[in-house]
Amino acid sequence: MTCGVCIGRVSALRRLSSRVVQNDPFNAFISKEVRTGEGNGKGNASLEGLTYAAKDNFSVSTTTCGSRILSNYVAPYSATVVGLLDEAGALLVGKANLDEFGMGSSNTNSYYGATLNPRYEHAAVPHVAGGSSGGSAAAVAAGLVDFSLGTDTGGSVRLPASYCGVVGFKPSYGRISRWGVIPYAQTLDTVGILARDVESVEKVYQVLDHVDDKDPTTLTQELRTQFDQQGKDNNRKLTIGIPSEFLVEELSTNNRGAWLEALETFREKGHIIKEVSIPSIKKSLSAYYTIATAEAASNLARYDGLRYGLSEEAKTVKEEEENSGLISKNRTLGFGPEVQKRILLGNYTLSSDSGNHYMKATQVRESLVKEFNQVFKFPNFLLQEPGSISGCDVLLSPTAVGDTPSIEEYELRNKENPLHSYVNDLLTVPASLAGLPAISIPWNHSSPHGIQLMTQFGDEATLFEAANLLQSQTTS
């Protein structure tokens, strides 16, 4: 590629990026970013010419995490996944809006304002896009980008995918590198992918599915080989499991109906449907918020306005010793209400006054993994647990408990009950706690209701197989 062509391409990309962000009535973007994927020989240029948005907790250029405290932060390096997408030829055009530090399920907790759901563009009132990756989902739903990156800690890719009527995928924990992703809860965080169809998600996933020496939590090549070598029969009949614990009272009529229709679709194709029980699912939501807030409190302790983050007053460490209120002031002004609440919850959990809540949550997590191992046919190679001969290939459920609320309705319910928003994670949290891969497929494009599929740890191949089967019926 000649220098003249390079310059011309960069210029065209700058115009594209500017146009995308300026034509953003949904507040999906926090900032524009021009990064030219050149397919530079290290990759295979498999995503040449495709545009994408990165959630604004991926380190690349200006990176705010949707927070005032990082409003002036410029990352000195780029996340591993951004580099891989560069090599594959993808074009980064903007940083997507998010709930502050990934804490929320509505994308109304951002310092930069709420993201609006493009699926309800012509509704009488604006609707939530879902969170925390609401900007990433909205950018795809509005056709502003071909795909986007988000992070999924407890459902933060799958829930907005459901609300916005797009596909949202969370891989097995450790499949995709988190190096350069600003953490919320590091034992739960995963890099997720959103796009308008399963094929596009899978294409991006193939680019990102690599070992990364910079991230010690990425899975080894030996494990990846074991996953890939597990035989598959393309003409097989899948066994679809229905966890009885997901039949909750809070499940809306529309989501219940979509669930039954999806099950009937698999049944009509000759696949086997069976009910299963995973008792620890009932305790998973409380266990998740115990673990997640504790890890968040630890991770966010570094943002004090002295070492990291915005400071209201320019003071040295020595001056801080003389004014012990500066850090408190910086954090009070720098963090929003939801982040402050979760930091307080996390610090209480980590304190001696809380008893052994963290230990109990960890025990629930261990029980949940064991129960999933007993349900799936596919072995858990990480724990060297064999699969169940009479088990399931896939678990199926709705993605969200309720229908997509308006912003006004959502905020009113939260005012009545501050824990209301946490219930939105009820169906997505179990896969996150166990580190399982999961994907949300839009069932009804005119009125989005996501259907969630889950498979055993490392079994992304079956997950995509089932997702493609389901998608073929929703688009036929």
- Which residues carry out catalysis? 55, 132, 156
Residue 302 to residue 329: CA distance in whole angstroms: 14
**CA 137, 140, 142, 146: dihedral to nearest 10 degrees?**
170
**Residue 349 main-chain phi, psi, to 5 deg:** -60, -35
> Collapsing DSSP states into helix, strand and coil, what is residue 442?
strand
Query: Tokens for 170?
Result: 């969370």
What single-letter DSSP state applies at residue 220? P
Q: Which two tokens stand for residue 354?
A: 């809380």
Token readout for 214 is 């910079």
Q: At what angle do helices 337-350 and 357-375 cross, to 10 degrees?
A: 100
* Contacts of residue 143, Cβ cutoff 8 Å, sequence gap at least 6: none
Contact 441, 167 (CB under 8 A): yes
Q: Which of 182, 177, 232 is nearest to 378 (CA)?
A: 232
Angle, in degrees to the nearest 10, between helices 198-208 and 80-87:
110
Distance CA 87, CA 81 (A): 10
* E-state strands within 361-414: 394-398
Joined together, the tokens standing for residue 290 give 């115990």
Tell me phi and psi for residue 273, to 5 degrees: -110, 130
